[in-house]
Amino acid sequence: MDLNPKPWTQTTVVGKAVPRIDGAERLSGVTRYALDVSLPDMLFAATLRCPHAHARVVKVDLSKAREMPGVRAILSDADKEAQIPWYFNGYGPNARALSRLFDPHCRYQGEEIAVVAAETQLQAWDAVRAIQVEYQQLPFVTSLEDAQKPGAPPVQDGGNLASPASVYTRGDIAKGFAEAEAVVEETYRTSCELHTSQEVHGCVAHWDGDLLTLWDSDQSPFDIQRGVAELLRMPLSKVRVNARYGAGFGSKLDTSKYMVAAALIARKTRRPVKYFLTREEVYLCVGNRPAHLMKLKAGAKKDGTLTAFELTAAGEVGAYPGDDNVGQMVQELYTCPNVKITEDQYFINAGQNRAFRAPGFPQCAWALEQTMDALAEKLGLDPVDFRLKNVAMVCQTEENRPYTSNGLPQCLSEGAKAFGWKEARAGARGEAAIVRGVGVASGMWGYLAPPHATVIVKYFDDGSANLNMGSTDIGTGHCTVMAQIVAEELGVPLGKIEVESADTQTTQFADGASGSRSVMITGPAVRSACLDVKAKLLAAAAAEFQVFDGDLKFENGEITGPPGVPRTPARRLRFVQEQGVVVGVGVRAPHPANKSVRPFCTHFAEVEVNRRTGEVRLVRMLAAHDSGRVMNLATYSNQVYGGITMGIGFALTEQRILDANTGKMLNANFHDYKIPTALDVPAELTVLPIDPHDTEVNSTGTKGIGEPALVPAAAAIANAFYHATGVRATVSPITRASVINLLHQGRKQG
């Protein structure tokens, strides 16, 4: 049996908007997240963090803290076992550590100095406050712009340039602009955003002999298992990570200091340790989407043919190397023969960036899609038509290979139709205090990494099944979608499928929940495992009925065959009844050779702008997405709603504010760092799935929805803002104060 067949042509369970199989547990408060794990005799940990943007720790006096009630252990740089290298200047054996677990050189507000474990959480905090530290404060730099200035205080020894400029070129940029009949150029800036998952970061660490178990709030248990094992010099078999998931958006992919410190203290005290960050610490220490400056120049001919793109971008990585490249959509979303992209990354005295939902792409969309709008206007073309004309049907980044599918033209045209684009665009914008506008933006998501997943499906002799997979459901409905595949293939009702996932001890390696790839990576492996079960059942039936297995069929959990073979429920086969279980194993096949895989999307937005108060209100939004097959319309749509909602924050409210005078973050809390609330989301959000019936991408026909759902949302809002006001908002977020300033400048110029 081919374990990696073409995608289904007809389905009965896959594609249905079934409720989540773990819904009742999540909705009744029964689900145990990492933060809810409680073990007998557990200690609680709290961290002393550097309060300064840049300082050297001269002296740490733990004597008073050690005498505090309930304190059982304090871990600091004075402990030999805690001198673990951290933050590297690259990858591989030659990478050099730039810091260590409790490094006395603190390069941002929030760097770890000591961890206390005590009998209660409050006692741990009391003791942290009793630690006396002498700091030598050092000059600091808190913005991307300042970091680039000559004489700026260096964050790292080599200065503030985090990595040599990456340059991408194709064609001849000078020729491209010479051929252009219209050229636009603008500098865009996006602000630093924080992930702020609802569950804070943290874990419970427990040693059972030499086996370390971490119940951790993360989205990539196998990567974290490897990271912790390497840092503690332990074999993988002795590190168990059980991921319990309260969302992550990319901030819970990395091996974090708290994991290693929890393990060390648990070993030292011989007791389980619960170690979670506070909300403020999450804002400071576990990642962000870095701010970006993007100068984008674009040229086109009168007929709308693009001739050149030139992007010069700078991003801030925080105090230690990271990356968040923004160029990929400029490279490949639209057909353009001449492209040059230069990207620099700079250090500032702030927490290191981490992957954040489609890293680099929403920033790029902010610049690219506003540029496309400006160019369309200059050419007198409709923004939808202009994009349609330039959609790239081959992947220009990957040697002009064709995409397995590209539904972007349909996203644009069918989306425009469903939104009522032409009418809305032509409609009156209004002269009163409140003006209206509509905007469009497209996007894509790109991933290159090879896929990995090994899945086990157990089919029991009562007709129920266990799905055992390493992937992680961080809130996407992943487990439900995977169970739908089992139900589809084996005819087992969803209620009789138990999913076991995201535990490095009891499930097999799978890539983490990142890159919008959980469904598209693990899904085909689940299908393979089911087909393996099916092949074994057919072989057993062939032996039992003395026919060729090729003459038998498996339908809805039953074996049927030529005359003489009774219609038999698979569970009733003698082999199954004797063995008790049939085990199928599925391994994810590679991506198709010589084809590129991308999801695509277009968002349409309508906004109202109050010219007196500066308020921007999103009236409605339509999101057309080609992410391949829709496995479950309910969870798919929910991802899109979530992406749009996050895009509203990107466009209108979210920004980390670092005080230039003190170097400290001014809004490290939910009150001052404004994520969208129920009051900010429009009632009318429409999801328009475009299914290109991709038969090549993998055996499920899926391409991933989580990240593309966010990519163009903010840019569509920005373009609608321009349509409403006639003023380009180049800086995110478009706050009320910035709107008043923009409109004032617009009036002066106009």
Partner 1 sequence: MESVNEKERRSALSRRRFFGSVAGGATEAALIGAAVTAEAHPGALEAPPAETIPITLTVNGHTHALMAEPRWTLLHVLRDRLGFAGTKQGCERGECGSCTVLIDGVARYACMTLAVEAAGRQITTIEGLLEGGELGPVQQGFLEEDGYQCGFCTPGQIVSVEALLRKTPDPNLDQIREGISGNLCRCGAYANIFRAARRAAELKKAGR
Catalytically annotated residues: 707
CB nearer to partner 1: give 56 or 267: 56
Looking at 31, 413, 667, 738, which residue binds partner 1 (CB under 8 A)?
31
Distances (CA, A) of 347 to 153, 163, 331, 575, 639: 10, 9, 25, 63, 33
DSSP label at residue 303: T
Decide: is 135 part of the binding site for partner 1 (CB under 8 A).
yes
CB nearer to partner 1: give 205 or 395: 205
Stretch that binds partner 1, among 63-71, 367-375, 392-400, 550-558 (CB under 8 A): 63-71
Is the bond preceding 733 in cis, omega lying within 30 degrees of 0?
Answer: yes
Decide: is 149 part of the binding site for partner 1 (CB under 8 A).
no
Decide: is 247 part of the binding site for partner 1 (CB under 8 A).
yes
CB nearer to partner 1: give 56 or 452: 56
**What letter represents residue 473's amino acid?**
D
Site for partner 1 in 662-721 (CB under 8 A): 662, 669-671, 675-679, 681, 683, 685
Structure tokens at 192: 């630093």
Phi first, then psi: give them for residue 277, nearest 5 degrees: -80, 155
Stretch that binds partner 1, among 142-150, 470-478, 503-511, 544-552 (CB under 8 A): 470-478
How many whole angstroms separate alpha carbon 720 and alpha carbon 728? 10
Stretch that binds partner 1, among 8-16, 179-187, 227-235, 245-253 (CB under 8 A): 245-253
Site for partner 1 in 376-435 (CB under 8 A): none
Decide: is 279 part of the binding site for partner 1 (CB under 8 A).
yes
CB nearer to partner 1: give 103 or 549: 103
The least CB distance from residue 340 to partner 1, in Å, is 36
How many whole angstroms separate alpha carbon 612 and alpha carbon 427? 22
**C-alpha gyration radius of the chain:** 27
Stretch that binds partner 1, among 77-85, 394-402, 469-477, 720-728 (CB under 8 A): 469-477
The count of residues in the chain is 750
The least CB distance from residue 26 to partner 1, in Å, is 4
Looking at 133, 616, 688, 705, which residue binds partner 1 (CB under 8 A)?
133
How many whole angstroms separate alpha carbon 714 and alpha carbon 228? 37
503 burial type by CB count under 10 A (0-12 exposed, 13-18 middle, 19+ buried) = buried
Looking at 205, 212, 646, 658, which residue binds partner 1 (CB under 8 A)?
646
Looking at 76, 99, 353, 635, which residue binds partner 1 (CB under 8 A)?
635
Scanning the structure block, which residue is given the tokens 């709030």?
217
Looking at 81, 134, 185, 230, which residue binds partner 1 (CB under 8 A)?
134
Terminal-to-terminal C-alpha distance of the chain = 70
Looking at 13, 14, 35, 98, which residue binds partner 1 (CB under 8 A)?
35
CB nearer to partner 1: give 400 or 677: 677
Looking at 2, 9, 10, 28, which residue binds partner 1 (CB under 8 A)?
28
Looking at 5, 139, 380, 550, which residue binds partner 1 (CB under 8 A)?
139
Q: Over the range 402-424, which residues count as b (16 or more CB within 10 Å of their CB) and which as e?
A: ebbbbbbbbbbbebbeebebeeb
How many whole angstroms separate alpha carbon 441 and alpha carbon 319? 33
The least CB distance from residue 669 to partner 1, in Å, is 6
Is the bond preceding 359 in cis, omega lying within 30 degrees of 0?
Answer: no
Looking at 73, 98, 117, 130, which residue binds partner 1 (CB under 8 A)?
130
Number of residues that bind partner 1 (CB under 8 A): 79
> Which sign, positive or negative, has the C-alpha torsion 80, 72, 38, 32?
negative
Looking at 331, 645, 653, 735, which residue binds partner 1 (CB under 8 A)?
645
Structure tokens at 603: 């968002």
Stretch that binds partner 1, among 25-33, 315-323, 691-699, 717-725 (CB under 8 A): 25-33
Scanning the structure block, which residue is given the tokens 């990696």?
4
Scanning the structure block, which residue is given the tokens 């040693």?
207
Site for partner 1 in 561-620 (CB under 8 A): none
CB nearer to partner 1: give 196 or 405: 196
Site for partner 1 in 165-224 (CB under 8 A): 195-200
H or E stretch including 446? none
361-379 helix and 633-652 helix, angle to the nearest 10 degrees:
70
Distances (CA, A) of 185 to 305, 312, 366, 726, 730: 17, 11, 14, 17, 12
Stretch that binds partner 1, among 116-124, 312-320, 463-471, 693-701 (CB under 8 A): 116-124
From the CB of residue 332, how many other CB atoms can be counted at a distance below 10 Å?
Answer: 22
How many whole angstroms separate alpha carbon 698 and alpha carbon 585? 17
CB nearer to partner 1: give 297 or 664: 664
CB nearer to partner 1: give 244 or 425: 244
Site for partner 1 in 475-494 (CB under 8 A): 475-477
**Beta carbons of 621 and 644 less than 8 angstroms apart:** yes
Structure tokens at 737: 């104060």
